[in-house]
Structure 1
Amino acid sequence: MRATAFKTAEELVAEVRAGHAAPSDIARSVLDNIQALDKSLNCFASLKPDDVMAQAVALDRRLAKGEDLGPLAGLPVSVKDLLVAKGLPTASGSLTMQGNVVDLDAPVVERLRAAGAVILGKTTTSEFGCKAVGDSPLTGITRNPWNTEKTPGGSSCGAAALVASGITPVAIGTDGGGSLRIPGSLTGLVGFKGHFGRVPAYPAAAVPTLIHIGPLSRQVRDAALMMSVISGYDERDPFSIAIQKPDYLVACERRPKGLRVAYSPTLGYARPDPQVAEIVEAGLARLEAAGCDIDVVDHVFDDPVEIWKAEFYGGVGTRLKTAMETRRADLDPAVANALEGIYSLSMTDYYERVFERFQFRDKVRTFFEDYDILATPSVPVTAFDVGLDIPPGHEDRDAISWAYYSYPFNLTGQPAVSVNAGFDADGLPVGLQLVARPLAEETLFSLALAFEETDPEPDRRPSL
């Protein structure tokens, strides 16, 4: 591993600004680390080293002229292969999309470039983001740096493996049912989902009413830095929030004293593994030390999984209707099976689910009248064997809904983050999910940083 390994985004940007490293030095080091590690991890769906170096050398030249490169000066940042970027294929992990190139940068990619970042490439995803594990028919298996026989989770699997391995400090993923928070939990990272519409999405996703775009990082402040760059209004996204964005790095410095936190180990329906529940509950002491008042709440709401399935699989199923009819054999069987039932859903059934979503959101809003934060396990398990779509003991669920704790907050749109709470007996990470009131990302960053600062093992790393 070369000089950039396990450095934070803030450290790398500071090196460029101080003249201690050129963008091309950082890019070359990152590419060397990719060459050393990616054969065992499989993080990338698309990587063009010559293009990466060309971007970095162009930044070198601008720097030599005295230009201010921006808040991400010279920082290599990957984007998930569900987001479009000029010059890179967008295949969404599917054989049915192989070779698809869109001559367009998504708003998030435009903002990364404008902030001085080097677009590193496209990271792997499960097919169309439809599984919470790290494999697809197109790219094969992506592996967890903490144990390469285990999944990193999904669907932002390549992003999580890339960051957890120390190759880069940050990566951009998406989250339609937990796809930032699930891999964040299983690889020991910060997986941050801002409020719905805070980061614009364009072109429209298959499920535009559920998808959030956000960062995976090893440090809370790096997630805040990324959100400060990628969030903000864009008229091309009808759901984009047209209000001034907060200063997320300033929010990190605020102390979270007096926050009212509800801790729910099950939400009323989830089944966490005992060791996961134990480690998350031990982490509550760190929230109390930060000045939070904590109540334990057994039942928060009934499982909204059928509402979420109608919207998520309805959107993806509509996009894939032709592929289901003509190329089903090329689709991941777990994805095809999940979509099969959606075609029998009537319009009346669908709108019943839409109305139920509004009712669910109102119930959650009422709950948050009494609390600032809801804390839960991020997922019910630690990382499990590659090749499985669903963890042992949860086979009654589908390939995403086994992650009981995440999809409810795609339905409500609230900001949520997974932070590392500790490690199980096998040395695998366990995540704590923190959910805030609508638009309250500042509260999340304040509390997440306070939690991170009391980590008893801040320098623990995977040994690849």
Structure 2
Amino acid sequence: MDLSHVTQASAAEIAAAVRRREITAVAVMRTFLDRIEQLEPRFNTFATLTAEAALQQAHHADKLIAGARDPGPLAGVPVSVKDLIAVRGVRQAFGSKLLADNVAQHDAPAVERLHHAGACIVGKSTTSELGSKAVGDSPLTGVTRNPWNAERTPGGSSSGAAAQVAARMVPVALATDGGGSIRIPSSFCGVFGIKARFGRVPVWPPSAAPALAHVGPITHSVRDAALVLSVIAGRDARDEASLRSPVPDFLASLDEGLRGLRIGWCPALGYGRADAAVLEACEQAAWQLQAEGAQVMELQPPFARDPGPAWNRLFYGRIGERLAELAPTPAQRELVNPALRAAVAQLEAFGPPAEAELAALREETWARAQSVFRTVDVLLTPTLPVTALPVGVDVPPGHAGRNAVDWSYFTYPFNLTGHPAASFPVGFDGGGLPIGLQIVGPLDGEGAILRVASAIERLHPIAAPRLV
């Protein structure tokens, strides 16, 4: 492999070249670190860069190969880790000034598994504070910018992760998703991001919103995401919600094609709306799958009511509890992002929640989502109602009354239900900003999602922004 092209290569290609001794893991890492040095000042994607540790990990991979030992399926692949995920000995600040000096004492299970697979952790990517906004800024790290247009947000809360992958600063980024935080920035940045079924990838230490939290990859390619999922999925006793069932063969799904697959296209879920340019690109991509052998049909909106109130209670209610612990005084509260304070205060203003009503809404949302998959094998929707917002804007114009996440109408329901979901880029708006198509599967439907994403990838190869 030519070093001059290594930043354009997939994770699978890099690992294969390193394992064949065509290139060293150290040379790969130095090449990516050079690119990070060049681009990071423009996009501000790293909360913490761990260059020396990454080079040491790369050297270890090379040493194993020299001794005829296999470092693993991600040998020498640079990976960033979102700053909500623990990496032992590295600052884990959650994008918050309140936790600026916090250092993780343990690796998260997914990070342990990346290490065992030969990946090299290059640093911690930026996040909105406590993962609480769908755009990319935090009080601690400032504004992260979108490589397609630096005056636009990359989305959030996995802002740095998606921006790094889009800018080819890393081939793989490990991210989290509690209401769309993998899919939102993947859509805004024109990359592929997937959250598997709830519990497929263990989450530990516990998230601030444990009933909604997922860990998953953002990548340049569907195959890379399947490869990373194969590495990080599986039971871990530290996370009681992690699944005991065997990990599916995600890579095998990529070769199955779409013949006989029933795909439902749904332009709205029963509330909210998407811009015309978004709808046009997503609908066109959906119907194109007929030529790949799928049976495509348009579905009626599945939800009678917006599940936002139930999601907000589980998400901002729990984050509010975390903030009460971290910032008990008014002076400490002033250090918190204003949009986060507002969302928590709005929830508190409603008084004691009607828990029975919210539980009924969650159950209704679950039942209606399940009913969709009695008719189709995969559900397609827009990932987002809009393309990337200007930096500094928390809620899209025309969507007043929504908070800093629940304007993302299409993503958060599938955190409530735990269904696997992904975003794949399918076009651009008139300003050249990416548009994402959301792909949702039944509970054990990661394979179906990957099949569909692989087919879309053949029709719409992932583009890269021109960075000069």
After TM superposition, is the score higher than 0.5?
A: yes
CA drift at 1:362: 1.3
Alignment of 1:111-126 (within 5 A): 111-126=113-128
Alpha-carbon separation, structure 2, partners of 1:243 and 1:402:
34
- Cα–Cα, structure 1 residues 2 and 149, in superposed 2: closer, same or farther, change >3 Å? farther
Alpha-carbon separation, structure 2, partners of 1:428 and 1:463:
14
CA drift at 1:348: 5.6
**Runs of 5+ unmatched residues, structure 2:** none
CA drift at 1:320: 1.1
What is the match of residue 62 of structure 1? 64
What is the match of residue 411 of structure 1? 416
CA drift at 1:347: 5.8
Q: Does the 8 Å CA contact 2:81/2:123 hold for their aligned counterparts?
A: yes
**Runs of 5+ unmatched residues, structure 1:** none
What is the match of residue 381 of structure 2? 376
| Segments of 4+ moved more than 2 angstroms | 1-4, 322-325, 341-348, 457-464
Question: What is the letter of the counterpart of residue 71 of structure 1?
Answer: P
Alpha-carbon separation, structure 1, partners of 2:107 and 2:328:
30
Count of equivalent residues = 463
Q: Which moved more, 1:259-268 or 1:108-117?
A: 259-268
Question: What is the letter of the counterpart of residue 315 of structure 2?
Answer: F
What is the match of residue 81 of structure 1? 83
Q: 1:43 aligns with which of 42, 45, 48?
A: 45
Alpha-carbon separation, structure 1, partners of 2:263 and 2:310:
26
Q: Does the 8 Å CA contact 2:220/2:462 hold for their aligned counterparts?
A: no
Q: Does the 8 Å CA contact 1:258/1:293 hold for their aligned counterparts?
A: yes
Note if 1:461 corresponds to 2:453: no
Q: Taking structure 1 as the reference length, what is the TM-score of the superposition?
A: 0.97
Note if 1:321 corresponds to 2:321: no
Q: Does the 8 Å CA contact 1:7/1:166 hold for their aligned counterparts?
A: no
CA drift at 1:3: 3.8
Q: Taking structure 2 as the reference length, what is the TM-score of the superposition?
A: 0.96
Q: Does the 8 Å CA contact 1:2/1:33 hold for their aligned counterparts?
A: no
Superimposed CA distance per residue, residues 340-360 of structure 1 (whole angstroms, 9 cap, x where no aligned partner)? 133356666234313321232
Q: Does the 8 Å CA contact 2:278/2:387 hold for their aligned counterparts?
A: yes
What is the match of residue 310 of structure 2? 307
Superimposed CA distance per residue, residues 356-376 of structure 1 (whole angstroms, 9 cap, x where no aligned partner)? 212320122122211111110
Question: What is the letter of the counterpart of residue 433 of structure 1?
Answer: Q
- Cα–Cα, structure 1 residues 276 and 411, in superposed 2: closer, same or farther, change >3 Å? same
CA drift at 1:48: 2.2
CA drift at 1:460: 4.8
Note the aligned Cα RMSD (angstroms).
1.5
Question: What is the letter of the counterpart of residue 185 of structure 1?
Answer: S
Q: Does the 8 Å CA contact 1:176/1:210 hold for their aligned counterparts?
A: yes
What is the match of residue 216 of structure 1? 218
Superimposed CA distance per residue, residues 26-46 of structure 1 (whole angstroms, 9 cap, x where no aligned partner)? 111111000000000111001
Q: Does the 8 Å CA contact 1:310/1:350 hold for their aligned counterparts?
A: no
For the residue of structure 2 that corresponds to 1:375, the secondary structure is: strand
Q: Does the 8 Å CA contact 1:189/1:216 hold for their aligned counterparts?
A: yes
Note if 1:388 corresponds to 2:390: no
What is the match of residue 357 of structure 1? 362
Alpha-carbon separation, structure 2, partners of 1:147 and 1:56:
32
Q: Does the 8 Å CA contact 1:2/1:30 hold for their aligned counterparts?
A: no
Alpha-carbon separation, structure 1, partners of 2:131 and 2:353:
27
- Cα–Cα, structure 1 residues 288 and 16, in superposed 2: closer, same or farther, change >3 Å? same
For the residue of structure 1 that corresponds to 2:354, the secondary structure is: helix
Note if 1:246 corresponds to 2:251: no
Q: 2:454 aligns with which of 433, 449, 455?
A: 449
What is the match of residue 168 of structure 1? 170
For the residue of structure 2 that corresponds to 1:330, the secondary structure is: coil
Question: What is the letter of the counterpart of residue 424 of structure 2?
Answer: V
CA drift at 1:458: 4.7
Question: What is the letter of the counterpart of residue 467 of structure 2?
Answer: S
Question: What is the letter of the counterpart of residue 115 of structure 1?
Answer: A
Alpha-carbon separation, structure 1, partners of 2:454 and 2:231:
19
Alpha-carbon separation, structure 2, partners of 1:424 and 1:152:
15
Identity across the alignment (%): 44
Alpha-carbon separation, structure 2, partners of 1:204 and 1:115:
23
CA drift at 1:324: 4.4
Question: What is the letter of the counterpart of residue 61 of structure 1?
Answer: K
Alignment of 1:61-210 (within 5 A): 61-210=63-212
For the residue of structure 1 that corresponds to 2:36, the secondary structure is: helix
CA drift at 1:395: 2.4
Alpha-carbon separation, structure 1, partners of 2:11 and 2:326:
40
Alpha-carbon separation, structure 2, partners of 1:415 and 1:264:
17
Q: Does the 8 Å CA contact 1:185/1:431 hold for their aligned counterparts?
A: yes
Question: What is the letter of the counterpart of residue 461 of structure 1?
Answer: P
Q: 2:24 aligns with which of 22, 25, 34?
A: 22
Superimposed CA distance per residue, residues 93-120 of structure 1 (whole angstroms, 9 cap, x where no aligned partner)? 0000001012100000000001111111
Q: Which moved more, 1:143-152 or 1:277-286?
A: 277-286
Question: What is the letter of the counterpart of residue 412 of structure 1?
Answer: T
Alpha-carbon separation, structure 1, partners of 2:410 and 2:370:
17
